């Protein structure tokens, strides 16, 4: 980090304020002149994009809550009231419903980026763990939000997912009853889901603050995975990254707007425009697309309890990532083997997402089992093994210095062939 | 990197940044409108902002109470004597002087918003000291023209916008 | 440069891959036949509803469908609002006053019957779901307000279904009391063929073929499912146009800013 710089209040008022509440100093040190590695690529803009997603969801959500009625008799119609009668209600509701999809899309990219560049490694373990907490909260919030329109998919999705709790031996049934406030998904369930769906985004907001705080203690990782050494490696956050992040956000927003204005229902399920009927189950129950990979893992396992455990395990395992991958070299750019396995991991996740929407039989079941096994093997086997046996490519000394760091790696082989690629990487990335 | 002219011409650089910033600020500001407008009455509420009342069944001296924008509207078919009294009292020293003729479109029909102008209670018909309405909350008395005569209310009962669609229908709002 | 780098360098291929996957999710439930696509004027980013077709469609709904199917999300006032059939207010008042409703009670507690007004919802064909089932051999005629959004490929499916009743039933299919419609999942549908040539006499003189009526009523139902569609697409054009110009400005700004960063 850059320690050369100090905030100095310029005029009388800011001096007065600085002694009492150093708000400007805080903003300056954490936002404006915060030293940021100069080689961050566009994958590093998703932090900002995600912040905007959260803010969008909270604002549109508060507005929707002004018109929505959390009652099984009125919920469905109140949504249609929003869509038809409330001024710009359709815009606000479509922004919120598609916004959830955008949020998850961005968070997946953000997480894959962290995996690729080793952003979870020392000293950033806490940032990663807080990130997983946020992800978990997002899933819970998204799931509860999907129940609120009280369509067929809302109702049956809620029924199927809450019933997973019942698989827990002995305490399962009473816990399920406690969760639902009854013996099936009904009005008490809808009311508490609404309450929690309103609460959780603010909890997420709180954890996001911790996430960013932790980030500002260690500083950003960067595509080389090499720690910042001096001020030559960094540029101030503003204007460089405010503008770059905003540019990326506009690109993201254009895609977002395409969904809101021209294809607002493609990411949802038609059955959710049928009012919930507790006596009639739809032909296929599928969760929202962003939960499909987890749903596929659940159904890949023949044993119900094991399926539930593995599904939750697929997220829990992420908490242990910093200790599963002990390789000192962070970025996959210098880890040729990890790179290949990472690519396969991305493919397995996408495949799981695809399979989550298919009936679990025949080739689909086989593929989801293979993908599930690979998902866990990637974290529990491949990462620890690679940490021991992988020989990284030669690395430059620093972000601004393309010369090979010969103190760490023997210069015998690999240097000559490796040099051009990293030189290009570190210099021309921005 | 070879083109250094841009860097030496701060005005052009500033122009781009300022344009971009103004554009961004405009976009952000216009985002606020849907969020504000959603607070306005929705289409279903606005649709009820004007109502039609059938007055064909009200006998002379009778009245009808209808709801309009969530407030009661008193429609009273006044007798000849009541009209005479109301007009006679035009010349008195009233707290809120208004001629009876200015408060009606057809002398026979008085249409007023049934909300006391003091603190918003609903006055009771055919009571009070002046043959009109009496507000039980703080004791305001209104006459048969809906004018305040005694008590804390500052003004006469409000006359809503209305029109006679035909002899049987009044459209309020 | 290996393949992985190529993929990872291009931010957008990521979006693309994800959306190709997500977009295909809903395709999982197919109908028996591939839907006919007559082509509707409201399709596409600049699509608008064909007002005349919407008016005819309402006529088909009110004269045929409404005998069994309600549309509880719609009020009469919707028929005259912008972006819909845009009947005149007088015309809609006349339509509404043709129906009556029990609303409130008189001083003796007896229900008062009055004729409907602009603000009233479309009349319900049945008092309850059970009554509706009893009148239709146990099959519940669904509410049509959102039917286009509640079916995969909604409007093409509805058009195909209404236009697709067939007399000849495949030999291997036992449909019992039901009717045969190849577009309905399974082929056996509880709804009897609702439309026949000249089922309605169009006010504007259009010849009422089964095909024409199917098309018109589908148009009407598509509007009813999403009456704000025209407003949405129009605003979308403005917003995306604005964002696109802003994007170019931002692109130039980013390039200029990072020119000196090496």
Beta bridge partners of A325: none
C200, C13 Cβ separation under 8 angstroms = no
pLDDT at C9: 45
Do B16 and C252 count as a contact with CB atoms less than 8 A apart?
Answer: yes
pLDDT at A5: 65
Do B38 and A85 count as a contact with CB atoms less than 8 A apart?
Answer: no
> C98: how many CB neighbours lie within 10 A of its CB?
11
Q: In whole angstroms, what is the distance from residue C114 CA to residue C108 CA? A: 16
| pLDDT, mean of residues C179-195 | 91
Q: Pick from A271, A343, A350: which is nearest to C21 by CB? A: A350
| pLDDT, mean of residues A186-206 | 98
Do C249 and B20 count as a contact with CB atoms less than 8 A apart?
Answer: yes
A90, A60 Cβ separation under 8 angstroms = no
The two tokens of residue A143 are 């799931």
Q: Is residue A246's pLDDT more than 50?
A: yes
H-only helix segments in A219-291 = 242-257
Q: What is the CA radius of gyration of chain C?
A: 25
Q: In whole angstroms, what is the distance from residue A9 CA to residue A19 CA? A: 10
The band of A193, judged by pLDDT with boundaries at 50, 70 and 90, is very high
| pLDDT, mean of residues A285-296 | 94
Q: Is the peptide bond before C13 cis (omega within 30 degrees of 0)?
A: no
> A285: how many CB neighbours lie within 10 A of its CB?
17
Q: Is residue C18's pLDDT more than 80?
A: no
Q: In whole angstroms, what is the distance from residue B108 CA to residue B80 CA? A: 8
Residue of A nearest to C253 (CA): A243
Q: What is the DSSP string of A11-25?
A: SHHHHHHHHH--HHH
The band of B9, judged by pLDDT with boundaries at 50, 70 and 90, is low
C112, C105 Cβ separation under 8 angstroms = yes
**Residue that wins the pLDDT comparison between B120 and C34:** B120
| pLDDT, mean of residues A92-105 | 98
Q: Is residue B39's pLDDT more than 80?
A: yes
pLDDT at B127: 86
Length of chain B: 173
Q: To which CATH superfamily is domain A37-285 assigned?
A: Cytochrome Bc1 Complex; Chain C (1.20.810.10)
Edge to edge, the sheet with strand B162-166 lists B51-54, B169-172, B162-166
- Contact partners for chain B, using 3 or more CB pairs closer than 8 A, are A, C
Do A269 and C26 count as a contact with CB atoms less than 8 A apart?
Answer: yes
Q: In whole angstroms, what is the distance from residue A238 CA to residue B23 CA? A: 19
Q: Which of these ranges, A404-418, B86-100, B158-172, has the smallest mean pLDDT?
A: A404-418
C-alpha angle with apex A236: A234 to A240, nearest 5 degrees?
Answer: 105
ipTM of the complex: 0.88
> A217: how many CB neighbours lie within 10 A of its CB?
12
Residues 6+ apart with CB under 8 A from A123: A218
Q: Which residues in B lie closer than 8 A to residue C77 (C-beta atoms)? A: 43, 47
A52, A249 Cβ separation under 8 angstroms = yes
Residues 6+ apart with CB under 8 A from A152: A271, A272, A274, A275, A276, A277, A280, A282
Least Cα distance to C216 among C14, C28, C25, C51 occurs for C51
Q: In whole angstroms, what is the distance from residue B128 CA to residue A184 CA? A: 58
Q: Which residues in B lie closer than 8 A to residue A84 (C-beta atoms)? A: 43
Residue of C nearest to B20 (CA): C249
Q: Using a CB–CB cutoff of 8 Å, tell me whether A237 touches chain C.
A: no
Do A254 and C240 count as a contact with CB atoms less than 8 A apart?
Answer: yes
Instruction: Kindly list the domain boundaries of chain A, sorted by start residue.
Output: 37-285, 394-430
pLDDT digits (tens, 9 = 90+) for A331-383: 999 999 999 999 999 999 999 999 999 988 899 999 999 999 999 999 999 99
Q: Give C 163-222 residues with CB within 8 A of chain A.
A: none
The helix (H) or strand (E) run that includes residue C113 is: strand C111-115
The band of A4, judged by pLDDT with boundaries at 50, 70 and 90, is low
Residues 6+ apart with CB under 8 A from B17: C253
Q: In whole angstroms, what is the distance from residue B142 CA to residue B131 CA? A: 8
Q: Is residue A239's pLDDT more than 80?
A: yes
Do B27 and C243 count as a contact with CB atoms less than 8 A apart?
Answer: yes
B138 catalytic residue (yes or no): yes
Query: Which regions of A1-110 does DSSP assign to beta strands (E)?
Result: 35-37
pLDDT digits (tens, 9 = 90+) for C63-89: 999 999 999 999 999 999 999 999 999
| Residue indicated by tokens 């990219």 | A109
Residue of B nearest to A85 (CA): B43
Edge to edge, the sheet with strand B71-77 lists B63-68, B71-77, B109-113
pLDDT at B57: 85
Q: In whole angstroms, what is the distance from residue A168 CA to residue C68 CA? A: 46
Q: How far is A156 from chain C (nearest CA, A)?
A: 15
Q: Pick from B24, B34, B45: which is nearest to A88 by CB? A: B34
Q: Which residues in C lie closer than 8 A to residue A84 (C-beta atoms)? A: 73, 78, 227-228
pLDDT at C33: 63
pLDDT at C114: 86
Do A88 and B39 count as a contact with CB atoms less than 8 A apart?
Answer: no
Query: Which regions of chain B does DSSP assign to beta strands (E)?
Result: 51-54, 63-68, 71-77, 109-113, 124-125, 131-135, 140-143, 148-150, 162-166, 169-172
Q: In whole angstroms, what is the distance from residue C18 CA to residue A107 CA? A: 13
pLDDT at C23: 40
Q: Pick from C81, C118, C242: which is nearest to B27 by CB? A: C242
Q: Which residues in C lie closer than 8 A to residue A275 (C-beta atoms)? A: 143
pLDDT at C186: 86
pLDDT at A417: 38
The two tokens of residue A80 are 């249609």
Burial class (CB in 10 A: 0-12, 13-18, 19+), A353: buried
- Contact partners for chain C, using 3 or more CB pairs closer than 8 A, are A, B
Q: Which residues in B lie closer than 8 A to residue C259 (C-beta atoms)? A: 1, 6-7
pLDDT digits (tens, 9 = 90+) for A54-93: 999 999 999 999 999 999 999 999 999 999 999 999 999 9
Q: Using a CB–CB cutoff of 8 Å, tell me whether C227 touches chain A.
A: yes
Q: In whole angstroms, what is the distance from residue B9 CA to residue B78 CA? A: 83
The two tokens of residue A98 are 């598609």
C54, C84 Cβ separation under 8 angstroms = yes
Do A86 and B42 count as a contact with CB atoms less than 8 A apart?
Answer: yes
Q: Max CA-CA distance within chain B?
A: 99
pLDDT at C17: 43
């Amino acid at each position: 980090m850059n320690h050369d710089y100090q905030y100095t209040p310029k005029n009388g008022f800011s001096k007065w304020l600085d002694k009492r509440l150093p708000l400007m100093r805080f903003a300056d040190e954490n936002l404006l002149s915060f030293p940021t590695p100069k080689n961050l690529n566009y994958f590093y803009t998703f932090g900002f994009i995600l912040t905007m997603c959260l803010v969008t969801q909270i604002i549109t959500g508060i507005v929707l809550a002004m018109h929505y009625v959390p009652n099984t008799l009125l919920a469905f119609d109140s949504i249609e009231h929003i869509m038809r009668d409330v001024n710009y209600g359709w815009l606000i509701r479509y922004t919120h419903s598609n916004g959830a999809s955008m949020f998850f899309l961005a968070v997946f990219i953000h997480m894959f980026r962290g995996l690729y560049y080793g952003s979870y490694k020392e000293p950033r373990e806490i940032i990663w763990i807080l990130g997983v907490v946020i992800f978990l909260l997002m899933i819970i919030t998204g799931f509860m939000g999907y129940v609120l329109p009280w369509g067929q998919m809302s109702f049956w999705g809620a029924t199927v997912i809450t019933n997973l709790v019942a698989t827990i031996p002995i305490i399962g049934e009473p816990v399920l009853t406690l969760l639902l406030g009854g013996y099936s998904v009904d009005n008490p369930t809808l009311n508490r889901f609404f309450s929690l769906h309103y609460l959780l985004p603010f909890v997420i907001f709180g954890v996001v603050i911790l996430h960013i705080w932790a980030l500002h203690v260690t500083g950003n990782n960067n595509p080389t995975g090499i720690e910042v050494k001096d001020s030559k490696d960094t540029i101030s956050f503003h204007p460089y990254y405010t503008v770059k992040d905003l540019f990326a956000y506009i690109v993201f927003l254009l895609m977002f707007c395409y969904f809101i204005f021209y294809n607002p229902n493609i990411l949802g399920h038609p059955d959710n425009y049928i009012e919930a009927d507790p006596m009639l189950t739809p032909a296929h129950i599928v969760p929202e697309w962003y939960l499909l990979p987890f749903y596929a893992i659940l159904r890949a396992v023949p044993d119900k309890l094991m399926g539930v455990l593995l599904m939750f395990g697929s997220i829990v395992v992420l908490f242990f990532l910093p200790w599963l991958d002990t390789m000192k070299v962070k970025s996959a750019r210098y880890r040729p083997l990890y790179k290949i396995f990472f690519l396969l991991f991305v493919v397995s996740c996408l495949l799981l997402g695809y399979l989550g929407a298919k009936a679990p039989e025949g080739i689909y079941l086989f593929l989801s089992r293979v993908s599930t096994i690979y998902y866990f093997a990637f974290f529990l086997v491949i990462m620890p093994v690679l940490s021991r046996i992988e020989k990284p490519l030669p690395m430059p000394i620093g972000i601004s210095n393309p010369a090979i760091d010969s103190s760490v790696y023997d210069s015998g082989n690999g240097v000559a062939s490796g040099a051009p690629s990293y030189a290009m990487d570190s210099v021309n990335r921005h | 990197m070879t083109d250094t002219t841009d860097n030496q011409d701060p005005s052009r650089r500033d122009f781009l940044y300022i344009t971009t910033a103004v554009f961004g600020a405009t976009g952000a500001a216009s985002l606020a409108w849907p969020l504000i407008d959603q607070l306005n009455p929705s289409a279903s509420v606005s649709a009820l902002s004007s109502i039609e009342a059938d007055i064909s069944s009200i006998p002379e001296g009778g009245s009808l109470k209808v709801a309009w924008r969530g407030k009661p509207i008193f429609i009273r078919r006044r007798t000849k004597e009541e009209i005479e009294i109301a007009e006679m009292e035009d010349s008195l020293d009233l707290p809120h002087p208004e001629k009876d003729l200015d408060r009606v479109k057809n002398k026979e029909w008085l249409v007023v918003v049934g909300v006391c102008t003091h603190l918003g209670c609903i006055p009771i018909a055919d009571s009070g000291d002046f043959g009109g309405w009496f507000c039980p909350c703080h004791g305001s008395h209104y006459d048969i023209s809906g004018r305040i005569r005694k008590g804390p209310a500052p003004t006469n009962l409000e006359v809503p916008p209305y029109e006679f669609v035909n002899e049987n229908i009044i459209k309020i709002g | 440069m290996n393949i992985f780098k190529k993929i990872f360098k291009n931010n957008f291929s990521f979006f693309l891959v994800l959306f190709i996957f997500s977009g295909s999710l809903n395709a999982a439930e197919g109908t028996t036949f591939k839907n006919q696509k007559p082509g509707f004027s409201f399709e596409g980013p600049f699509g608008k509803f064909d007002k005349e077709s919407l008016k005819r469609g309402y006529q088909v709904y009110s004269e045929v469908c409404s005998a069994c199917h309600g549309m509880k999300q719609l009020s009469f006032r919707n028929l005259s609002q912008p972006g819909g059939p845009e009947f005149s207010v007088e015309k809609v008042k006349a339509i509404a006053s043709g129906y009556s409703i029990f609303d409130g009670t008189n001083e003796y507690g007896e229900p008062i019957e009055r004729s409907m007004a602009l603000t009233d919802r479309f009349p319900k064909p049945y008092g309850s779901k059970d009554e509706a089932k009893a009148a239709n051999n146990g099959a519940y005629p669904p509410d049509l307000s959102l039917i286009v959004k509640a079916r995969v490929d909604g409007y093409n499916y509805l058009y195909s279904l209404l236009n697709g009743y067939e007399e000849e039933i495949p030999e291997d299919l036992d449909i019992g009391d039901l009717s045969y419609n190849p577009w309905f999942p399974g082929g056996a549908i509880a709804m009897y063929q609702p439309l026949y040539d000249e089922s309605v006499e169009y006010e504007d003189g259009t010849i009422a073929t089964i095909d024409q009526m199917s098309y018109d009523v589908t148009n009407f139902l598509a509007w009813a499912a999403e009456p704000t569609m025209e407003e949405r697409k129009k605003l979308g054009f403005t917003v995306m146009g604005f964002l696109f110009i802003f994007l170019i400005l931002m692109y130039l700004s980013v390039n200029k800013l990072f020119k000196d960063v090496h």
